[in-house]
């Protein structure tokens, strides 16, 4: 749901579908920022014989705006190449897979991918500068099972030797990169929320009156995604090339989003059954803040939103942030539960930039939060003028220790969590639901008192803000690439075979 099948067209193109975006100051290396963009949603671990992979004909990008204008100053581009090492075989592999370069004998690995990583810098004047940071970088295999991918984590993410975690140092740029399958870390109850906004823990209050309250069901449990992960020194991402020492410094905030581009023309070639792609690259997917396209943008505009840059959000799409439909539906879906929100909705109806009905949501998702609006947390805007959907991160804010982290981020008093970037365990679905329900309105309108329910609604997948164990985060890593080991195709969730997790 964070951006899983969020628009009609991209739902038919999972290889280009960006599902989640994370940006946070690395907890174990606080002089760096970690950026993670996930693609190919809801992968069944047992998805053979053609296991999931990045598309060779898609350009994947992670973009950074470091001056607040909503335009990319830096792009990291990922491009993939796939080879069949054993073309006569119908299998993904014909024995235990050894991580090594394509064409290496004895690896038993047939369908194999590598990628090229390129950094593009966009100067104020002149042409963009492209710097190739790595070629023939290894993508690990999917987690098939103990016979094919034994001891998965130790085999493909070792601390030394051949590893899918790769370090680069080229053209004055350094960092660490990973591209491959990981466990899905996002958690939400899709089955309930898309049934007319039902929330299982509060089903007894729903308009339908058909159900009793019950625990939430995690729709994204036990599935995998494909991740693009980068860990880069802060000084290489911020304006001026020097890490800020204050959360209010001019260069303290970066904006991040991810995209996928395909060639404009595709021709179905009949002889080999392969497609031919030509023409310029066209953007087909975009993701900044979680849930924006699914929950805010109207269905008639979802595909167009995916094709445009974040700078477009201040014009054709502003109305969806300024006065979202879901905020008006909640009092109707839960009669009598949100009386203050209902009264506010009646009194406020505005989509202009000077008088939006929901200035709190505009600040959180479009402009960034200025200094001083929320006590005790850093601003996510220190002078930027753009109205643009970007995941904004204040890189001068030290990471919160896991022992005191709160999955509700700012709503839980945690300065290191969403909307100050996004960590893997942040409960972004609950955070944004509470914001839409009015929990953040008093920050910009002191006359409004949030309904008690606004601070209580949730999907029922965690016990409280200190619970970091929602399914998908239970194997969260404390070091790069942070997302957990992908679930094994052999070991179904109900399996009790010792050691069967690969």
Q: How far apart are the C-alpha atoms of 124 and 69, rounded to whole Å?
A: 12
What is the residue-level pLDDT of the chain in tens, covering all 502 positions?
455 677 678 888 889 899 999 999 999 999 999 999 999 998 899 988 899 999 999 999 999 999 999 999 999 999 999 999 988 889 999 999 999 888 788 889 999 999 999 999 999 888 999 999 999 999 999 999 999 999 999 999 987 778 999 999 999 999 999 999 999 988 888 888 888 889 999 999 999 887 889 998 888 888 999 999 999 999 999 999 999 999 999 999 999 999 999 988 777 776 666 777 778 889 999 999 999 998 899 999 999 999 999 999 998 999 999 999 999 999 999 999 999 999 999 999 999 999 999 999 999 999 999 999 998 899 999 999 999 999 999 999 999 998 899 999 999 999 999 999 999 999 999 999 999 999 999 999 999 999 999 999 999 998 899 888 876 556 688 899 999 999 999 986 544 333 333 4
Is it true that the peptide bond before 214 is cis, omega within 30 degrees of 0? no
What's the pTM? 0.94
Q: How far apart are the C-alpha atoms of 135 and 478, rounded to whole Å?
A: 27
Tell me how far CA of residue 376 lies from CA of 247, 276, 282, 363, 420, in angstroms: 11, 54, 42, 17, 12
Tell me how far CA of residue 109 lies from CA of 141, 277, 347, in angstroms: 8, 27, 64
Q: Which of 220, 224, 133, 208 is nearest to 170 (CA)?
A: 133
Compute the CA torsion angle 41, 389, 228, 121 (nearest 10 deg): 150
């Amino acid at each position: 749901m964070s951006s899983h099948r969020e628009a009609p067209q991209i739902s038919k193109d999972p290889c280009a579908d960006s599902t989640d975006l994370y940006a946070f100051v690395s907890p174990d290396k606080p002089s760096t920022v970690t950026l993670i963009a996930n693609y190919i949603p809801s992968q069944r671990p047992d998805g053979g014989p053609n296991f999931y992979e990045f598309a060779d004909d898609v350009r994947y990008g992670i973009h950074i705006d470091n001056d607040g204008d909503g335009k990319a100053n830096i792009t990291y581009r990922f491009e993939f190449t796939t080879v069949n090492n054993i073309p006569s075989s119908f299998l993904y592999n014909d024995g235990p897979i050894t991580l090594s370069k394509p064409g290496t004998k004895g690896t038993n690995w047939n369908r194999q991918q590598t990628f090229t990583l390129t950094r593009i810098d966009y100067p104020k004047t002149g042409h963009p500068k492209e710097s190739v940071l790595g070629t023939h970088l290894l993508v690990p295999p999917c987690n098939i099972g103990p016979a094919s991918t034994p001891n998965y984590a130790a085999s493909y993410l070792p601390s030394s030797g051949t590893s899918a975690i790769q370090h680069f140092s080229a053209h004055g740029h350094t960092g660490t990169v990973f591209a491959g399958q990981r466990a899905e870390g996002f958690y939400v109850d899709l089955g309930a929320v898309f049934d007319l906004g039902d929330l299982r823990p509060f089903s007894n209050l729903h308009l339908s009156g058909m159900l009793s309250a019950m625990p939430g069901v995690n729709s994204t449990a036990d599935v995998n995604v494909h991740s693009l992960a980068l860990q880069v020194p802060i000084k290489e991402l911020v304006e001026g090339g020097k890490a800020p020492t204050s959360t209010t410094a001019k260069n303290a905030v970066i904006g991040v989003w991810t995209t996928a581009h395909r060639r404009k023309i595709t021709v179905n070639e009949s002889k080999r059954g392969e497609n031919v792609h030509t023409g310029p690259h066209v953007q087909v997917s975009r993701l900044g803040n979680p849930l924006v396209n699914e929950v805010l943008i109207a269905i008639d505009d979802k595909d167009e939103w995916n094709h445009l840059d974040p700078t477009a959000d201040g014009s054709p799409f502003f109305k969806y942030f300024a006065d979202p439909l879901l905020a008006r539906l909640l009092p109707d879906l839960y009669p009598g539960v949100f009386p203050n929100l209902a009264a506010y909705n009646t009194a406020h109806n505005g989509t202009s930039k000077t008088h939006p009905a929901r200035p709190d949501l505009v600040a959180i998702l479009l402009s960034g939060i200025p200094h001083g609006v929320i006590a005790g947390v850093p601003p996510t805007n220190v002078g930027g003028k753009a109205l643009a959907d970007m995941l904004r991160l204040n890189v001068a804010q030290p990471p919160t220790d896991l022992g005191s982290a709160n999955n509700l981020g700012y709503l839980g008093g945690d300065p290191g969590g969403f909307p100050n970037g996004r960590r893997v365990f942040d409960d972004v679905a609950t955070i944004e639901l509470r914001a839409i329900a009015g929990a953040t309105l008093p920050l910009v309108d002191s006359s409004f008192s949030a309904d008690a329910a606004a601070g209580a609604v949730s999907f029922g997948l965690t016990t409280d803000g200190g619970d970091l164990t929602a399914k998908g985060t239970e194997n969260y890593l404390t070091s790069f690439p942070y997302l957990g080991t992908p679930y094994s195709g052999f070991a179904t969730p109900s399996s009790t075979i010792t050691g069967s997790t690969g």
